[in-house]
Structures are given as C-alpha cells and as structure tokens.
Chains A and B, each alone.
Chain A
Amino acid sequence: MIRRTLVMALLLVTAAVLETALFPSLALFGFRPDLLLLVTAVVATRDGPMAGARVGSAAGLLGDLLVTSAPVGLGVLVVSVLGALVGWSRPYLAPSSVTAPLLLVAAASVAGTAAHGILGGLLVDDRPGAELVVQAAIAVGLYNTLLSPLAYTLVRRVSDAFPLRGAGFQ
C-alpha cells in the first residue's frame, strides 16, 4: 500500500512537472491539458470512488500549490469531488467498452475545468469571462481525451503492479 502511494505520488508529481514545464510549449489553441485531473479521472475510472477521491485530493492540492494561483483548497475541492463522482459512475459503464472511459474522462475534464473557472471567478476579483471558461473547458476536454489512452496504459500498469487492498476498495 505504501509503495502504491509512493508510485501514485510520483505519478502526480510527474504529471504536475510535465503540465508546467512541457505542455506550455505544446498548447492547443492556447490551452494546455490538465494532467492532474486526467490522472485522477483515470484512477477513479479504474479503481473506484475511494481511490478517485484520495488521488483527487492529492492532485488538487499539488495543483493549488504548484500549477494555479487560485486559492489553495479550490483544486482539492473540485478534483476530489470529481474523482469520487467518476468512481461512482464506473459501474454504469459497459465493461468491454473502449469509448465509454474516454467519454467519461472527457466529461470529467470539461466539468472540472469549468468548475475550477467558475469557482475561481467567484472567489477572486479578476474572474474569467464565461466565453473563456467555455473555451478552456472544451480545449482541456479535447486535450485530455487525446492523452487518456496513454494515461490509462500507465495507470493500469501501476494498478496491476500495486493493487489496492484494504477496506473500502473494490
């Protein structure tokens, strides 16, 4: 369990570093992917709401401290709730479907980006416009969907190597 936690932390740190160092130069229409949100959604899709909420809280906190200038705690709130919601919706997906997880990741990315923009706008003075929030949500949704097969492959290997154990995990 500890090793899994360390590997997951390493995965999140890598995602945060890539998001801040690599993807600014690979921006799509001026927007970069939200890798922390992507990893959370993929983990929640594979391992359920408990793992989603825990990984989401860590990812949100890392994002608050490293990636965004929004108030600390906003990312924790948004990403952990999204992780839990994605995990809860997992039983409703067809097990053999390939596109359903991708659509779930896309929806989670759009909703997470929009929620982050809206809540951030409510908490700080220089709130982004509705048009910018919509554009960012769509762009991040597309970008995360493009990267989700890679993220799924990576998370599946980690989960297979370090399976979840203990109460509350499926």
Chain B
Amino acid sequence: MFQRRRVRILLALLVAAAIALVTIDFRGGDEGILDRARGGVTAVFRPVQDGVVTLVRPFSNLGRSVSELLAIRAENERLRERVAELEERRRAVSDLERENAEFRTLLDIADRTELDVAAARVVALAPSNFEWTVTIDVGADEGIERGMPVIDGDGLVGRVIQVTPGASRVLLAIDPSFSAAARSAGDGEVGILDGRGGDPMVLRLLDPLADLAVGDQVVTSSYQGGVFPAGIPIGTVAAVGEGGSALAPEVQVNPFVDFTRLHHVLVVFSTGVDDIPPFEGSDDLEFERPPVSPRLDDDADDDVDDEGSDEETSDGEDAGGPDATGANALGAPRPRP
C-alpha cells in the first residue's frame, strides 16, 4: 500500500514535471533553455554517434549490399523475361513486315500488269528431290484451272499442273519439265525457256544470229499462243553460249524469283491466246493462193512448193511449233526423262 502510494506520488510528480517541461519548451522557443540543453546533449553525443556509425557502416553497407544484390537479381530476372518477350515480339514484327512487303509487291505487280489474279499462300514444297513443285492453298473452288500461270512480286513462278477443290500444285519454272515462250526485253528476240532444276534456266533462241548480252532481262512472250501473258519478268541473262549460222546459242538465265523463299503468290486467270486452226483447213479463209508465175516451169513450181514445205517444217521444229514440240513451246509439260 505504502509502495503503491509512493509510486503514485512519483508518477504525479513526473507527469507534472513533464507538463512543465513541455510548457517551458513551448514558451522558450528556439532560444529557450531546453533547446540549448538539447543542443548540448547533441554536441556531447555526436562524437560517440559518429564513432558508432563509423564502426557499423561496413556492416550496414554489407547488409545493404546483400539486399541490393537480391533486388538486382530479381530485377535482372524480370528484365531477362522482358527482353525475351520483346525479342519474341520483334521476331513476330519482322515476320509481319516481311509478309507485308510481299503483299505490297504482289499488289504492285497485279496493278501494274492489270491481270485478273487470285492470291495464294504456299503451303507445301515438293516431296521429291527431283521435281520442283509447290502446293498452294487455292483450287477449283476459287476458279483455279490447270495451266494457269503463277507469279509473285519478282516475276514468273510457274504454272498450275494439278487442281483440287481447295489446293493446287504448281510446277515451278526451274523444273526440268517446264518450258515457256520467252523473249528478250531489250530487243525482243524470241525463244523457248526451259528449266534446269538447280542450274540456271536455258533460253533457246529462234534466231541463230541473235545478239544477247549478259544482264539483259528476259520476260514471257505470248509467242505462238503461249499460256503466259506477255511481259512477266523471268530473269536476267547470266551467260551466252556459242552460236553459229545454223545453231542457235543457248542462253543461261538466272531467275528473278527466289524459289527457296516462296510464301505468297498470285495465280493469273489467263489461259493465253486461243490456238488458231491450221492454215489450209480453215473454213473462213479469205486468202487466195497466188497464181503460178508463167515464167516458172513445173520444176521450178515444184521447187517453190518443196521449199515452202521445208521452211514450214524447219520453222516448226525450231520454234517448237504446235505440231512437233509446240506443246512445250506453249508451256505444256514435257515428258520426264
């Protein structure tokens, strides 16, 4: 009881002293006695505090370094994940940019040539190492027919050789069984272009004396009713072989199209020029055969006939005419060896 009373008295005194101190501190302001006491205590303790701070600073720095290391590791992990995410997004964007560029090129060539086309995506390559074909995702349902030319932004890709309702197979222009009528874009020299697989394509010119130079551009020709619209770029002359008075030079042509990177193509709704019926068998022929010159005798007359006949045959063979190799000249597939 006595002790409790003493404690109460002490506590009351302490509370009164505390209130008095607060009052003195408030009344004294910045220059009061308690403020000076505070400054004195701080001055006394400052060296001790500095010493303790100096002593513990390495340990506190160590602790801070450990915590910072952990934070940096966590941030490093987060940044790595962020980098991986951005890298993946960048790759996707690059792919989209490439695809966009392809579509722009396809649109450009479609507008430039004013062709009626259908866009297609290459979905498969040839299963064999000895044929150069691709499968595209458009077919008969989209109006695709056999023989239709296929192009991309760089030029001639090939020709449709097989059609199903939802897909088509395209014979690439580099396939050895591919042939197409072609001409030099510069001087118009006409020839037959053949694929050679992995080697450059070969242009067999009709004129033995044709003068083509390396770098000349080669385009498709509608010569003799070829299935391809005229003017589709094929490639550039890489080398010109030896020719002669009767032997047409073989011209090697590097294609514009990169056949290893085909992604999107255009199928051209064109079947080329209709075949014209044979000259003599035509019913609506308005041409009259000129009379035989009275100055020529029968032998001469026969020679003229024979000569004309020889010329026809010769032209037909050289040009790959419709009767002999005309099918190849017009782009039809040749039998494989």
Contact = CB atoms under 8 A, between A and B. Distances in A.
Interface string A59-95: 0111011100001111011001100100110000000
Contacts of A20: 45, 49
B11 A21 contact: no
Contact of A77 (B22, B52, B56): B22
B15 A168 contact: no
A17 B3 contact: no
Interface stretch (A50-58, A126-134, A144-152): A50-58
A76 B11 CA distance: 10
Point out which of A62, A73, A170 has the most chain B C-beta atoms below 10 A from its C-beta: A73
Interface in A15-64: 16-18, 20-22, 25-26, 48-50, 53-54, 56-57, 60-62, 64
A1 interface: no
A22 B26 CA distance: 31
B14 interface: yes
A72 B38 contact: yes
B236 to A, nearest CB: 74
A77 B18 contact: yes
A167 interface: yes
Given A25-B64, A66-B45, A76-B18, A50 B6 contact: yes
B21 A76 contact: yes
Contact of B56 (A22, A62, A71, A74): A22
Contacts, number: 111
B20 interface: yes
Nearest to B39: A65
Nearest to A65: B41
A76 B19 CA distance: 9
Interface string B24-54: 1110000000100110011001001110110
B7 A71 contact: no
Interface in B152-193: none
A54 to B, nearest CB: 7
Interface residues of A, number: 38
A103 interface: no
Contact residues of A: prevailing secondary structure = helix
Contacts of B38: 64-66, 72
Contacts of A77: 14-15, 18-19, 22
B324 interface: no
Given A66-B41, A72-B34, A87-B7, A22 B52 contact: yes
A84 B318 CA distance: 124
A7 interface: no
A100 interface: no
A154 interface: no
B313 interface: no
A91 B149 CA distance: 105
Contacts of A88: 7
A43 B59 CA distance: 30
A158 B117 CA distance: 100
Interface of A: 13, 16-18, 20-22, 25-26, 48-50, 53-54, 56-57, 60-62, 64-66, 71-74, 76-77, 80-81, 84, 87-88, 123, 167-170
28 contacts: A18-B52, A21-B49, A21-B50, A21-B52, A21-B53, A22-B52, A22-B53, A25-B60, A26-B60, A49-B4, A49-B7, A50-B6, A53-B10, A53-B14, A54-B10, A60-B18, A62-B41, A66-B38, A71-B21, A72-B37, A73-B17, A73-B20, A74-B18, A74-B22, A77-B14, A77-B19, A81-B15, A168-B7
The 5 closest A-B pairs by CB, nearest first: A73-B21, A25-B60, A77-B18, A21-B52, A73-B22
